[in-house]
Amino acid sequence: MCTRIRSRTVLLVGVVAAGAALASACRGTMSIQSLLDDPGRYEGETVRVKGEVTRALGALGQGAYRINDGTGTMNVVSRGLGAPREGAEVGVEGTFRSVFTFGDESGAVIMEKDRFDP
């Protein structure tokens, strides 16, 4: 009886862990254009984007880089993860911050929390 309960508990824990991992992996990315088209909507929100690094500057684990997803470009500030090399394909999760909107131009940055394979 005790072995059967342990087996069910282990199975349940495994199913919950797998579900959490799947949910995390399925969180989708959004286009940079969507972020820049309505920056106020995403201000302070956690967002995920992916694309090619077009410019990068980093030292001692700190860095900044620009990512292009084909719909637009976004600056990313990295604290602790450094900056990937130019030309790298990366996924970024972080806090969106709108810097300015002037006419048809929008400036924004993502404060990087995590990086993932696109």
pLDDT digits (tens, 9 = 90+) for 19-68: 433 334 446 999 999 999 999 999 999 999 999 999 999 998 899 999 99
Transcribe 4-57 into DSSP letters: HHHHHHHHHHHHHHHHHHHHHHHPPP--HHHHHHSHHHHTT-EEEEEEEEEEEE
pLDDT average, residue stretch 81-96: 96
Kind of pairing, strands 46-59 and 89-102?
antiparallel
Is 40 part of any domain? yes
Is 109 part of any domain? yes
pLDDT digits (tens, 9 = 90+) for 4-29: 565 555 444 444 444 433 334 446 99
Provide the pLDDT for residue 8: 57
Q: How far apart are CA 49 and CA 54, in angstroms?
A: 14
Is 103 part of any domain? yes
> Could you give the number of structural domains in the chain?
1
The helix (H) or strand (E) run that includes residue 2 is helix 2-26
Is 14 part of any domain? no
Provide the pLDDT for residue 11: 47
Show the domain range for 112.
Answer: 28-116
Phi/psi at 111 (nearest 5 deg)? -85, 100
CATH number at residue 106: 2.40.50.140
